[in-house]
Amino acid sequence: MINKDQKRLILEEILKSNSFINSKLNSKLLTYLVECELNSKTPNEFSIAIDIFGKDSSFNPNEDTLVRVSVYNLRKKLERYYQNMGKRTKLRVKIPKGHYEVKFFNFQKESYRDRLKSPYLALGSIIIVLIAIIIYLISVFPKVDKVRNIPSENNMLSILFSEFTNSVKPKLVTLGDDFIYYSDFSEFKTTSIRKMYRNSNINSEEQFEKFKSEDPSKENFKKLPFSFFNQAAVWPLPYLVNLLDDFKTEYIIKGTTALNSNDLKAHDIIFLGSYWTLGILEQIIDDLGIGYNIIGKEEFSLKSSNLKESSIVYERTGVPAFDHIDYCTFIKIPGPNNNIIYLFVSFYATGSVGAVKYLTNEADLNELSDKFKSQFSQIPDYYLIVFKSNGYNREVLSTELLHIKEIKKETISW
């Protein structure tokens, strides 16, 4: 039996950890839930919304997923805490799935035999092999014809990335990964089966929680604990690695489905991926008035700055294994905490690879410089550039600069 004093000590140790000391919301929410348990109160979505988030009586849980998403994030943060700093802790606290009450328990380490039964053991081995392959590809990938040894601040590539490379904030390269969720069920009540799903309308934790809340039968669905990256994220990566190496820039890599609001505030970020793997970065696309379609005709549109003109539409055509055309939208925008965010967004790998190669080629950079000078008196602080790449059998044959647009800082609302 864990008494009240022990429970308060458990909470105190968690709040002192690096995971929680920099996360005021998670600390406040966990403290609130523990106090409810200590005082034999049962928290619910409505009480949490009022006591923690300052909502009023008009709060409608059916329309606002704020509490569900926040508790989900707290649950995941606790799990990560016990996987790292708190892994030796015997007395623990958890938030059972589908509930808001916390539970204290005495942790018993899983036996080796139990771990062998885990369905993730084989999958984990596969992921390790895939990561090794990606690292190998990066190490042996042919060096591209690019600007080497950045000479001065007047170099076009330096100008484009100067805020990023000169900033003291940590750097994060986020790769667009597919948001895949699963459910376990038994067929004929004998064999356990895991079924995985991919829904193009679900690309973030918030969308996933909303999806589950709208259908009680989906309550037991879970996000897959590892990632699947498509070619639009992986194939441009070696070129980007070479670019960042030129600037002697250190960075970490993270999948977009694992990206959270703290990442957006704490890091300068470069995104590589497709339109349907933007995750929480999708808000940027909405703010910029970019529409896209991935079912049937694959295309994206840019809202014209001239109200008399219709939107500009670009359609991806062909099959990547043969002749095809892809597009990449290269975007620089301000982050929510005076940080910088770049996005390379395409349908498939050809567009992103073409864009990164264009930005590392001296002749192409001169063309881009001339385009900026002819269209603007100086390079805008924030901008959007559209590239068109022609490819064959997944190789980029040529890349063309199509469109440049200035982005006003007030356009992005965090």
Can you give the pLDDT at residue 139? 56
Q: Is residue 18 scored above 90 in pLDDT?
A: no
Q: Is residue 153 scored above 60 in pLDDT?
A: no
CA distance 49 to 60: 10
CA distance 407 to 414: 15
Nearest CA-CA partner of 344 in 357, 363, 335, 334: 357
Q: What is the pLDDT of residues 367-398, one digit of tens each?
A: 999 999 899 888 899 999 999 999 998 789 99
Q: How confident is the model at residue 77 (pLDDT cuts 50, 70, 90)?
A: confident
Q: Which residue has the higher pLDDT, 188 or 197?
A: 197
SS3 labels along the chain: CCCHHHHHHHHHHHHCCHHHHCCHHHHHHHHHHHHHHHCCCCCCHHHHHHHCCCCCCCCCCCCCCHHHHHHHHHHHHHHHHHHCCCCCCCEEEECCCCCCCCEEEECCCCCHHHHHCCCHHHHHHHHHHHHHHHHHHHHHCCCCCCCCCCCCCCCHHHHHHHHHHHCCCCEEEEECECCEEEEEEEECCCEEEEEEEECCCCCCHHHHHHHHHCCHHHCCCEECCCCCECHHHHCCHHHHHHHHHHCCCCCEEEEHHHCCHHHHHHCEEEEEEEHHHCHHHHHHHHHCCEEEECCCCCEEEECCCCCCCCCEEEECEECCCCEEEEEEEEEEEECCCCCEEEEEEECCHHHHHHHHHHCCCHHHHHHHHHHHHHHCCCCCCCEEEEEEEEEECCEEEEEEEEEEEECCHHHCCC
Q: Which two tokens stand for residue 48?
A: 């949490």
Q: What is the pLDDT of residues 397-406, one digit of tens each?
A: 999 999 999 9
Q: What is the pLDDT of residues 172-181, one digit of tens each?
A: 999 999 888 8
Q: How confident is the model at residue 165 (pLDDT cuts 50, 70, 90)?
A: confident
Q: How confident is the model at residue 37 (pLDDT cuts 50, 70, 90)?
A: very high
Can you give the pLDDT at residue 115? 43
Q: Which residue has the higher pLDDT, 125 or 13?
A: 13
Q: What is the pLDDT of residues 266-289, one digit of tens each?
A: 999 999 999 889 988 988 888 898
Query: What are the angstrom distances between the C-alpha of 144 and each of 251, 324, 368, 380, 385?
Result: 21, 22, 19, 28, 21
Q: Is residue 146 scored above 50 in pLDDT?
A: no
Can you give the pLDDT at residue 149? 47
Mean pLDDT calculated for residue range 241-256: 87
Express as a percent the part of the chain with pLDDT over 90: 35
Q: Is residue 128 scored above 70 in pLDDT?
A: no
Cβ–Cβ < 8 Å for 240, 246? no
Phi-psi region of 338 (alpha: psi -120 to 50; beta: other; left: phi over 0): left
Q: How many CB atoms lie within 10 A of CB 124?
A: 13
Mean pLDDT calculated for residue range 258-269: 90
Q: Which two tokens stand for residue 157?
A: 């590539």
Q: Is residue 150 scored above 60 in pLDDT?
A: no
CA distance 387 to 383: 13
Q: Is residue 6 scored above 70 in pLDDT?
A: yes
**Cα distance from N-terminal residue to C-terminal residue, the chain:** 45
Contacts of 250 (CB under 8 A, 6+ apart): 170, 171
Q: What is the pLDDT of residues 338-372, one digit of tens each?
A: 999 999 999 989 999 999 999 988 889 889 999 99
Can you give the pLDDT at residue 110? 47
Q: Which residue has the higher pLDDT, 296 or 27?
A: 27
Q: How confident is the model at residue 7 (pLDDT cuts 50, 70, 90)?
A: very high
Lowest pLDDT segment from 59-63, 151-155, 202-206? 151-155
Mean of all residue pLDDT scores within the chain? 83
Mean pLDDT calculated for residue range 119-141: 58
Can you give the pLDDT at residue 292? 87
